[in-house]
């Protein structure tokens, strides 16, 4: 009996990769105040052109990872979060990233900075196929983004002297996930800040 080997090209074996985000979301009362301020902003910015409203959360990090490592990734981030204390964040007026984004400015905060430092120390756990994670350099909540240079200049002239203040306690961050083919982010879990004496050097993901 003669065996004939297939001449079809071999298909590359690819492991599923999921996209993730870490965010801090204010409480409902604060989100309502942000929505009200953003609605007023929109009324003033509409004459300036396109409007791309931001979400009521603070982006902390975005990254990708193998689907097969999700449970270990989640466990690692839970351990990291539990080692951090809750912290108070103060929204203080408006800021801008030239020449495309206007945001609610958040005052410098030691708790947020500590979170960012811990995430930078965890880069290897948040990296897949040499795709480096994007970790926030500052805490902010977008009012509007993807503005043209002209729209930005006009809008920022109207906003740079405006005042808006509110504060809230950040006692957790949310881990969001988007799988291949999905268009919307889903909340995977809430990671609580508990200020526990945990050695986060233990239990490395890799």
Which element (helix H / strand E) includes 37? helix 28-45
Q: Could you tell me which of 90, 87, 65, 89 has the C-alpha nearest to residue 77?
A: 65
pLDDT value for 19: 97
Average pLDDT of 158-172? 93
pLDDT value for 197: 86
pLDDT value for 13: 47
Cα separation values, 21 from 58, 150, 176, 185, Å: 11, 31, 5, 9
For the question of whether the overall pTM of this predicted structure is more than 0.75, the answer is yes
Model confidence over 99-140: pLDDT tens digits? 899 999 999 999 999 999 999 999 999 999 989 999 999 999
8-state DSSP, 188: E
Residue 198: beta bridge partners?
Answer: none
Spatial distance between the Cα atoms of 137 and 133, rounded to a whole number of angstroms:
12
């Amino acid at each position: 009996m003669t065996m004939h080997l297939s001449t079809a090209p071999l298909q590359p074996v690819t492991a599923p990769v999921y996209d993730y985000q870490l965010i801090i979301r204010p409480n409902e009362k604060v989100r309502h105040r942000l929505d009200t301020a953003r609605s007023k902003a929109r009324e003033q910015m509409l004459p300036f052109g396109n409007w791309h409203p931001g979400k009521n959360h603070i982006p902390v990090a975005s990254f990708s990872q193998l689907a097969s490592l999700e449970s270990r990734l989640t466990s690692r981030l839970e351990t990291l979060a539990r080692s951090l204390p809750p912290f108070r964040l103060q929204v203080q007026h408006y800021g801008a990233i030239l020449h495309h984004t206007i945001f609610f400015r958040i005052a410098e905060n030691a708790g947020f900075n500590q979170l960012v430092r811990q995430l930078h120390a965890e880069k290897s756990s948040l990296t897949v196929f040499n795709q480096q994670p994007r970790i926030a350099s500052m805490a902010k909540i977008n009012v509007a983004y993807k503005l043209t240079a002209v729209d930005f200049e006009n809008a920022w002239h109207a906003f740079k002297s405006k005042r808006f203040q509110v504060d809230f306690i950040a006692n957790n961050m949310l881990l969001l996930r988007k799988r291949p083919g999905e268009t919307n982010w889903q909340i995977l879990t809430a990671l609580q800040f508990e200020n526990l004496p945990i050695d986060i050097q233990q239990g490395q993901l890799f």
